[in-house]
Amino acid sequence: MSLVREFGSGRLFLFGLDHDSEIVASITNLAERLGVEAGTVAAIGALKRAEIGYYDQNSHEYRAIEIDRPMEITSLIGNISTRDGKPFLHAHATLADSEGDVRGGHLSSGTVFAAEVYLQELVGQSPVRRHDPTTDLFLWSETD
Ligand code: ZN
């Protein structure tokens, strides 16, 4: 097990994102502005377009999946921790099209139509992301 850390419950925020804003940057900027260094994130709403990623475990590269049509955010779940000294959002999403068919993966970017976000601050030492040579990902490291 690479990291186990206990936190207390901090502040709890609900917020709506601006139409046409970029969802990953907006949530990250909000966490930074509110001083949230560790937390959990959930959201529902709709995106005008999105890019999700699938991490190829053999080539160690993200395969980008472009979705250039309106989608419902049926579920977005993620966390805030620290990378390069700043709050970093890692989020995954499932997005549903007009038929209710779902695509999902690592949320790289998305243009907001409307989105309602729930942010739970965690009080304690924020996990720090460092490069992990085994996976080539930036994972939580015990040594910070
Ligand atoms: Zn991911």
Query: Distance, CA 8 to ligand 1 centroid (Å)?
Result: 24
Residue 92 Cα to ligand 1 middle (Å): 6
Q: Judge if pTM exceeds 0.75.
A: yes
Centre of ligand 1 from the C-alpha of residue 20, in Å: 23
Q: Total domain count for the chain?
A: 1
Contact 121, 38 (CB under 8 A): yes
What is the CATH classification number for the domain harbouring 119? 3.30.1330.80
Query: Does 58 map to a domain?
Result: yes
What is the average pLDDT score of the chain?
Answer: 96
Ligand 1: distance of its center to the CA of 35 in Å? 23
- Is residue 1 domain-resident? no
- Least Cα distance to 77 among 107, 121, 38, 55 occurs for 107
Strands 61-67 and 71-83: unpaired
Q: What is the pLDDT of residues 82-136, one digit of tens each?
A: 999 999 999 999 999 999 999 999 999 999 999 999 999 999 999 999 999 999 9
Cβ atoms of 24 and 107 closer than 8 Å: yes
Does the residue 55 lie in any domain?
yes
User: Which residues form the domain of 20?
Assistant: 10-138
